[in-house]
Amino acid sequence: MIRNSLLALTLTGMALSLSACNTVRGVGQDLESAANSVDKAI
């Protein structure tokens, strides 16, 4: 039961992340944005 729930949650997260940045350029921009946020937090 827990395994199925975890699998469903993982697949949902992957689908959302893939639809958010569906190009290689978008992935690069997302990673850069995340790195900038971490730099500002430190």
Q: Model confidence at 41, in pLDDT bands (50, 70, 90)?
A: confident
28: alpha, beta or left? (left if phi > 0; alpha if psi -120 to 50): alpha
Q: Model confidence at 22, in pLDDT bands (50, 70, 90)?
A: low
Whether 20 contacts 30, CB under 8 Å: yes
In whole numbers, what is the pLDDT of the chain averaged over residues?
78
Q: Total structural domains in the chain? A: 1
Tell me the two tokens of residue 13.
């997260």
d(CA 15, CA 9): 10
Tell me what pLDDT residue 23 has: 66
Range list of β-strands (E), 1-42: none
Which residue range(s) make up the domain with 16?
A: 2-41
Report if pTM > 0.85: no
Q: Give percent above pLDDT 90 in the chain.
A: 0
